Amino acid sequence: MTIATLSLAGLTTACGALGNAVDCNKVATEVSKIMTEFNGSVTKAATDPKALESAGDEAAAKVKSLAADYDGELAAALNDLASGLDGIKVDASNPSATMDSMQKMQGFVTKIQSACS
């Protein structure tokens, strides 16, 4: 199963949260790290579809933890990404549904980028 690489390159400016400037580079670094770990887990799980769900759950928990440090649009965008990761379910009878879930991840990253612009 091929997982699209998520681009977080646009997260280079400060964004507002809790009334203070937040370093979106930190958010980008953390999300990139989480997604790199997720992609690595997915690659290893190619022969075990349920491992994809477990990897998604693990990544979702990490993103939710990160989201707890922020509020407003950034927290909402991070929570959307966490929900997307948590919502990955493998259905052997409908593999395109799993791929659709995976492809939505870039949309969630775009929301994070928007919150930081």
Whether pLDDT at 22 is above 80: no
Beta strands, E only, 1-117: 14-17, 20-23
Spatial CA neighbour of 10 closest among 22, 34, 23, 28:
28
pLDDT surpasses 50 at 20: no
Q: Tell me the per-residue pLDDT of 43-91, one tens digit each, with 9 for 90 and over.
A: 776 677 778 888 889 999 999 999 998 888 888 999 999 999 988 877 7
The pTM of this model reads 0.76
State residue 45's pLDDT score: 64
- Exposed e or buried b per residue across 47-83, where buried means at least 16 C-beta atoms within 10 angstroms of its C-beta: eeeeebbebbebbbebbbebbeebeebbbebbbbbbe
Query: In terms of pLDDT, which residue wins out, 48 or 6?
Result: 48
